[in-house]
Amino acid sequence: MINNKSVLAITLARGGSMGIPKKNIVDIHGKPLLQYTTDEIIKSKYIDDYVVSTDSDDIEKVCNKLNVNVFRRKKASNTQTTAEGLLEVLQSYKKYDYVVEVMCTNPLKKIQDIDNVIEKLDNTGADSVVSVVRVWDNHPLRIKYIENDKLMNFYGDENPDIPNTRRQDLTPPAYVRNGSIYAMTYEQMVGKGLRIGEDVRPYIMDEQNSINLDEPLDLEIAKIKIRSLIND
């Protein structure tokens, strides 16, 4: 609870995965991927309740070992949108003031990130807060498309200085959602059915902690980073 406002955290963890088999519980240095998130959640100053929504018996067994509440999805999760998945949980629970979706595919996020997102949602009065990471090499000013076998600029004629500009000097700084933390008011999620509202605020995360596991290479990079943290 924060300033007398209740907080529910939800992780959507389906059993199927195209890129990494059983991704959400894949072993990383003796721990299932999901546990890297649950271990941080329990440290929160603000989260009142936490639930993992899943369609998987294997994930449910892991949650039971971790003493984490489980919500069994009723719909086919491979066709269910994220918003639908959150709504399915919320319609079965009491009303909370704030809802925080904490993705389990970002094993390097810390409880400080989660609690800071909740604080920003409460302090600003926004309807939603989303974690983002700064874009460097893929800054929009450098992105092209191909037309008739020619490289074309998305934003009209390219400034001749851009190809020679250091990535850190490209302005304005660009950011992309890192798929780690989404926080929203209950009214935003249940009333409008959307995670992101009209008054959405950013929470900037460190690039090193923003790795999102989609492909086998992401998993190998995460293992290396986590091993280095263990050895420090």
Confirm whether 27 is domain-assigned: yes
Confirm whether 158 is domain-assigned: no
Confirm whether 60 is domain-assigned: yes
Confirm whether 147 is domain-assigned: no
pLDDT for the residue 19? 75
The parent domain of residue 44 ranges over 7-133+175-231
Which CATH number covers residue 22? 3.90.550.10
pLDDT for the residue 78? 65
Q: Is 204 exposed, middle or buried (0-12, 13-18, 19+ CB in 10 A)?
A: middle
Confirm whether 169 is domain-assigned: no
**Considering its fold, how many domains does the chain have in total?**
1
154-187, pLDDT tens digit by residue? 665 555 445 545 556 566 788 889 989 999 999 9
pLDDT for the residue 75? 63
CA distance between the termini of the chain = 33
Confirm whether 145 is domain-assigned: no
48-105, pLDDT tens digit by residue? 999 999 989 999 999 999 999 999 987 655 677 888 889 999 988 889 999 999 999 9
Contact 25, 65 (CB under 8 A): no
Mean pLDDT, all residues of the chain: 87
| Residue 193 backbone class (left: φ over 0; alpha: ψ -120 to 50; beta: rest) | left
Which two three-digit tokens encode residue 115? Answer: 């609690």
Confirm whether 165 is domain-assigned: no
CA 38 to the chain's CA centroid? 14
Going by pLDDT thresholds of 50, 70 and 90, the confidence category of residue 230 is: confident
- 192-207: average pLDDT: 92
pLDDT for the residue 105? 92
Confirm whether 154 is domain-assigned: no
